[in-house]
Chain A
Amino acid sequence: MQTVPAAEHASGQQHPIGLYLRVWALLFVLSTLSYLVDYFRIEGYLRWFLIVAFMLMKAGLIIAVFMHMRWERLALIVAILLPPFCLLVLVGLMHVEADYTFSTRGAYFTSDVQQTAVHPGTGQERR
């Protein structure tokens, strides 16, 4: 579709509709793929890799195109995207802490049967 990028109308983010439709279709494909990971019961580290990869691709597309981030100035991009990276530290700290809690619970509070049941932290043995 050819539309006029008329200067008096282009007061904001102006991009061809086709771009949005392509991203929309891509999001559908990526969602289907991440659903299929579950449908075909892929387990272990491959499951983790695929889930996180599809998640990041979808998030990237939404932020970059739908939220127009790739057309913003770097000052705004840095202000928005940098702070959430601090959360990775929190994730790391809490994971270590939870791992410790799990091991002490396993050592003192559970029977032998339950102890061998699950450890989601390792990404193995889901049930």
Chain B
Amino acid sequence: MAQRPPTSREDLLASPAGWQGFVADWSADREAFKVPWGKAMMWIFLVSDTFVFSCFLVGYMTVRVSTTAVWPNPSEVFALTIGGTSVPLILIAIMTFILISSSGTMAMAVNYAYRRERVKTALLMLATAAFGASFVGLQAFEWTHLIVDEGVRPWGNAMGAAQFGAAFFTITGFHGLHVSAGVIYLLVVALKVLLGRYERSGNYQIVEIAGLYWHFVDLVWVFIFAFFYLW
């Protein structure tokens, strides 16, 4: 089923831009968002997800500000010993770079999708999924280290404030779940791209929609990196 873009180029050129366009779009009797429905739905989902993640981060801020016990220093907790010297926060830095790299390959996948180069698109998406999988792998390593070696639990930890464990497992766990779901999502779409599913319909919009989700996962990590690991 070929999905027709909701507005033709002529329509868009005829409608005003800027604030006039904003008023015209929102007061229109048929459609406010001149994008394909799939893209609008993904954006609405992402806005809702923004609120869930924000509630976790605000909850974390609340317990962190209100606790009188010592908060563990993330810089030391997530340090790795490389070549005999302890490098602070290096594990999280590596995970950050992996996720940014995956965002780069995803952005290029979207680009090639619109150029209808389906092999390149699929390969870039598979690379993105591989980056995502390695991120989850490192997170598993990080969790194992904290649970087994440091004795951190959702209800407490040996290094100080009990809320550290609760905040850590909730926030990184929910983000890890998003990454894992994203990897599966990307693999499914990449496979369909490779098999020529969208070549027949001529509509590669799904790659951009999957990309929106993936960039959002990276975006959330930017905030977690700043507020949880650098604070």
Interface residues, chain A, with chain B CB atoms under 8 Å away: 3, 9-15, 17, 20-21, 23-24, 27-28, 31, 34-35, 37-39, 41, 47, 51-52, 54-55, 58-59, 62-63, 65-68, 72-76, 78-80, 83-84, 87, 90-91, 94-95, 97-99, 101-102, 105-106, 109-110, 114-115, 117-121, 126-127
Contact = CB atoms under 8 A, between A and B. Distances in A.
Q: Report, as a range, how many residues of chain B touch the other chain.
A: 35 or more
B169 interface: no
Contacts, number: 189
A91 B58 contact: yes
Interface stretch (B102-110, B142-150, B172-180, B186-194): B102-110
Interface of B: 5, 17-19, 21-22, 25-26, 32-35, 40, 43, 46-47, 50-51, 54-55, 58-59, 61-71, 73, 75, 88-89, 93, 96-97, 100-101, 103-104, 106-108, 110-111, 114-116, 202-205, 208, 211-212, 215-216, 218-219, 222-223, 225-226, 229-231
A11 B5 contact: yes
| Secondary structure class of chain B's binding surface, majority of residues | helix
22 contacts: A13-B114, A17-B111, A28-B97, A31-B97, A35-B93, A38-B75, A39-B89, A51-B230, A52-B226, A55-B222, A62-B103, A66-B106, A66-B211, A72-B35, A76-B33, A76-B43, A79-B33, A90-B54, A98-B62, A99-B66, A102-B65, A114-B69
